[in-house]
Amino acid sequence: MQPKDMHPSTLTAQAGGAIDAQSGGVVPPIQPSTTFVRDRDYAPLNAANIYARDHNDVARQAEVILAQMEMGHEALLFPSGMAAIAALFRTVPNGGRVVVQSGIYWGTTHWIREYCTRRNVTLVEVDASDTAALAQACAGRKVDLVWVESPSNPWLKIVDVAAAAQLAHAAGALLAVDSTAATPVLSQPIALGADIVMHSVTKAINGHSDVLGGVLVTREHSATWDEIKQDRATAGAVLGAFEAWLLLRGMRTLPLRVERMCANAMQVAEFLMDHPNVEDVFYPGLPSFADHALATKQMTGGYGFLMSFLVKGSRDDALKVAGRLNLFHRATSLGGVESLVEHRHTIEPHTGIPENLLRISVGIEHAPDLMADLAQALGQ
Ligand code: PLP
């Protein structure tokens, strides 16, 4: 069976069929060399490898798997999620126009705002989970890029990707989707019409909180993609071989981890919803959640591992709950095998995040242990 015919679970478990031809090893070798020799006629021994700034074999192997999982044409790995986002936005011409979802990962918003100011790019921020509002933001003027994040972090809003693609294309723009909180296991934005999919692979794709990386996947070959690819190679922003190797290893269990994290998250969300000291829970899997129906239509196999909830009471009450947790580590980030909790208002105090909001990333632990930890921290 060719890797292209494999189910994602088979593809990732077998690392895209990576058998090391030289040693026979069932895991790919890591080649840390930064430079590669030429023969006496000055031909490279391996034409793909000249100098490690533009690419490396393990990154290529991981990219093939990611492109296939996203049903895309090609993938490019970067040394962080933000580096991947920046690589895409750098293709927007000076004086251009971008439409960006509001209330998304603060690091993205913060960087885009600064960048657009520096480059004289008009930035329109809109709640893209409201399709009518997105339509209005895209109407009437040429747009270069529409950027959405689904599910969004930390509100878990769901964007109708098919509708967003139509609106973006009608405005002459590409649609790019940050699908980090969905992973390629739960959703494939390209199949819904997106042009570019982005992930922070730092999160669930690697899944072990030990690699920083990002990826862009394109639907098809395009001038924009060529620009990104050339810039990554010549300006030097490929994921290093060690990180790519760890990523490939982490990805071998991706579908399995996501399945368990989703099952755990659903139980945790229901538990929180019923708790008297919880005011509200934002999780796409809950039927009471505003975007539940769209999430059910757009995501397959689960609703993800990320959720936010409001502790009844003040900022202090929320921080006390976080402080009493024993299993959920108080740390930023998401998507790892270990559960994490974060008080987002501390990180982004001026963006309207409620002071009593806690965001949690649910890991692969035993769900009853996680609920017992939350129960003792919430009291009652
Ligand atoms: N996108 C989302 C949704 C994120 O949560 C993050 C990081 O938290 C990023 C992008 C940025 O990724 P990285 O931290 O790998 O640069």
pLDDT in tens, 185-242: 999 999 999 999 999 999 999 999 999 999 999 999 999 999 999 999 999 889 999 9
For the CA of 213, the closest atom of ligand 1 is: 15
Note the pLDDT tens digit of each residue in 223-235: 999 999 999 999 9
Q: How far is the CA of 151 from the centre of ligand 1 (A)?
A: 13
For the CA of 149, the closest atom of ligand 1 is: 3
Find the residues whose C-beta lies inside 6 A of ligand 1: 80-82, 105, 107-108, 149, 153, 178, 180-181, 200, 202, 212, 214, 333
Q: Which of 178, 175, 179, 181 is nearest to 162 (CA)?
A: 175
pLDDT classification of 102: cutoffs 50, 70, 90: very high
pLDDT classification of 5: cutoffs 50, 70, 90: confident
Instruction: Please state, in angstroms and rounded to a whole number, the distance separating the CA atoms of residues 223 and 230.
Output: 11
For the CA of 180, the closest atom of ligand 1 is: 3
The alpha-carbon radius of gyration of the chain (Å, integer) is 21
| 329-330: strand order across its sheet | 278-282, 306-311, 357-361, 340-342, 329-330
Given ligand 1 and candidates 156, 200, 210, 334, which is best to mutate, with the most ligand atoms within 8 Å of its CB? Answer: 200
Note the pLDDT tens digit of each residue in 59-101: 999 999 999 999 999 999 999 999 999 999 999 999 999 999 9
Residues 6+ apart with CB under 8 A from 90: 228, 231
Instruction: Please state, in angstroms and rounded to a whole number, the distance separating the CA atoms of residues 250 and 66.
Output: 13
- Degrees (nearest 5) of the Cα angle 148, 272, 102? 20
Whether the bond between 151 and the residue before it is cis, its omega within 30 degrees of 0, is yes
Whether the bond between 154 and the residue before it is cis, its omega within 30 degrees of 0, is yes
Note the pLDDT tens digit of each residue in 264-278: 999 999 999 999 999
Note the pLDDT tens digit of each residue in 16-40: 888 898 999 999 999 999 999 999 9
Residue nearest to atom 2 of ligand 1 (CA): 105
Structural domains of the chain in order of their starting residue, each with its CATH number = 3-251 (3.40.640.10), 254-378 (3.90.1150.10)
